[in-house]
């Protein structure tokens, strides 16, 4: 069986990039032949095993004289937004990806295509190769692009009907795909996501009087990082340390740095980190905070749970259903009600004080749980994360691949 993986962005640098790499590793264990088409920078290498064929689309070159186009409006590296592409830029983008797609299909001759994001590149790929079965894995950001780039959304909505199968992260996302894309519900399979159990796991932690709180994600307004910093600025008691992992544009990074200048507790910024270093920070911490205004199904949350962190998270659509009733009613997690939103990830400013006050109370609740040394229910965590491994996820995808190819 031959799988061609398709991603418009840089592998490994975002949630979908980690997803791509993890699927490739699982497919390799099962001896699938594989090839990859992905967007990269000129000096960047698609670092997969040597027997996996790669077809890089090079940005910031004469052929594509602009940065990688990001599925999120703020990326952890220099990027440009789809809504800012001119007609000429879009034409260059389509020609560059078409060239490498054509080359990959001619040389590799795939049995199936696995494409990431229900957006432009998936539609372009299916248009060029309608005879090859195709599965699109959604990550949530396509839904945002449907609103941020309405001119391109018309092209996507029209073309997505030809895609054979769509994999959704949760039931709420499935409903939104049906609504926004007018894609048939019977061709959407809910698979969830996965985590690497060899990297993210618990480890004995020595006693400390300091409660360590960690954030991991892009330093962008949509991730709620600014609300998080305003909230921790109000915590003047407790012995706390904060770790902020992630990167963004120079402007957003500068704003976040300036906001932390007057906080009462030490804050360490690490920038973006590879997964094994992220896991090390998780195992040294007590509480993970994800105050996002929008997510598909945050992989980093699962990784934090696997490392036995207590959780403070926005009450994101579909998240409670995914985590399960038992976990959600435990004291391991505190949900923060979302403010009203426009364009899916932009809060109304007048609602932010209430959101940040609720975030503050949720943080204090989990800080007290740590100080009181409330036990972490090991069996509940094992039960909750048991089906979230990449191995289990790829098993689900393999069932769909076999069905489509046959």
- Do 2-194+389-405 and 211-385 have matching folds? yes
- Encode pLDDT of 28-58 as tens digits: 999 999 999 999 988 877 778 889 999 999 9
As a whole-number percent, the residues of the chain with pLDDT over 70 amount to: 99
Q: What top-level class would CATH report for the domain 211-385?
A: alpha beta
Average pLDDT over residues 227-241: 91
| Beta carbons of 244 and 273 less than 8 angstroms apart | no
Q: In the CATH scheme, what is the homologous superfamily, with its name and number, of domain 2-194+389-405?
A: Glycogen Phosphorylase B; (3.40.50.2000)
| 378 pLDDT tier (thresholds 50, 70, 90) | very high
Say if residue 260's pLDDT is above 80. Answer: no
| Beta carbons of 229 and 57 less than 8 angstroms apart | no
- Encode pLDDT of 124-136 as tens digits: 999 999 999 999 9
| Beta carbons of 164 and 129 less than 8 angstroms apart | no
What is the pLDDT, as a whole number, of residue 42? 87
Q: How far apart are CA 341 and CA 343, in angstroms?
A: 7
| Annotated domain spans of the chain | 2-194+389-405, 211-385
Sign (positive or negative) of CA dihedral 327, 388, 298, 340: negative
Per the structure block, which two tokens stand in for 390?
């990449």
């Amino acid at each position: 069986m031959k799988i061609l993986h398709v991603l418009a962005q840089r592998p490994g640098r975002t949630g979908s990039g980690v997803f791509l790499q993890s699927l490739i590793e699982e497919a390799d264990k099962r001896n699938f032949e594989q090839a990859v088409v992905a967007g990269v920078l000129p000096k960047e290498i698609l670092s997969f095993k040597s027997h996996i064929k790669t077809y890089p689309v090079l940005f910031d070159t004469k052929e594509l004289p602009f940065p990688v186009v990001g599925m999120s409006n703020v990326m952890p590296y220099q990027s440009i937004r789809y809504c800012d592409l001119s007609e000429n830029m879009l034409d260059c983008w389509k020609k560059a990806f078409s060239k490498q797609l054509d080359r990959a299909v001619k040389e590799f001759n795939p049995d199936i295509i696995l494409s990431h994001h229900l957006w432009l590149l998936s539609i372009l790929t299916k248009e060029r190769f309608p005879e090859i079965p195709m599965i699109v894995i959604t990550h949530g950001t396509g839904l945002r692009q449907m609103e941020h780039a309405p001119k391109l959304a018309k092209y996507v909505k029209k073309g997505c009907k030809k895609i054979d199968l769509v994999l959704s992260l949760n039931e709420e996302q499935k409903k939104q795909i049906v609504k926004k894309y007018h894609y048939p519900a019977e061709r959407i399979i809910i698979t969830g996501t996965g985590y690497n159990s060899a990297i993210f796991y618990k480890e004995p932690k020595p006693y400390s009087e300091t409660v360590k709180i960690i954030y991991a994600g892009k330093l962008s307004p949509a991730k709620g990082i600014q609300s998080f910093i305003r909230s921790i600025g109000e915590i003047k008691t407790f012995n706390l340390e904060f770790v902020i992992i992630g990167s963004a544009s120079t402007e957003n990074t500068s704003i976040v740095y300036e906001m932390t200048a007057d906080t009462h507790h030490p804050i360490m910024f690490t920038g973006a980190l590879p997964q094994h270093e992220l896991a090390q920070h998780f195992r040294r911490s007590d509480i993970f905070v994800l105050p996002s205004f929008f997510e598909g199904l945050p992989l980093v949350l699962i990784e934090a749970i696997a490392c036995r962190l207590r959780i403070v998270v926005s009450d994101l659509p579909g998240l409670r259903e995914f985590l399960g009733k038992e976990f959600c009613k435990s004291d391991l997690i505190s949900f923060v009600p979302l403010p009203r939103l426009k364009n899916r990830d932009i809060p109304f400013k007048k609602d932010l004080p209430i959101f940040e006050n609720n975030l503050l109370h949720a943080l204090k609740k989990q800080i007290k749980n740590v100080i009181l040394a409330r036990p972490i229910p090991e069996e509940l965590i094992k039960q909750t994360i048991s089906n979230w491994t990449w191995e289990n996820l790829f098993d689900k995808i393999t069932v769909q691949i076999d069905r489509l190819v046959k």
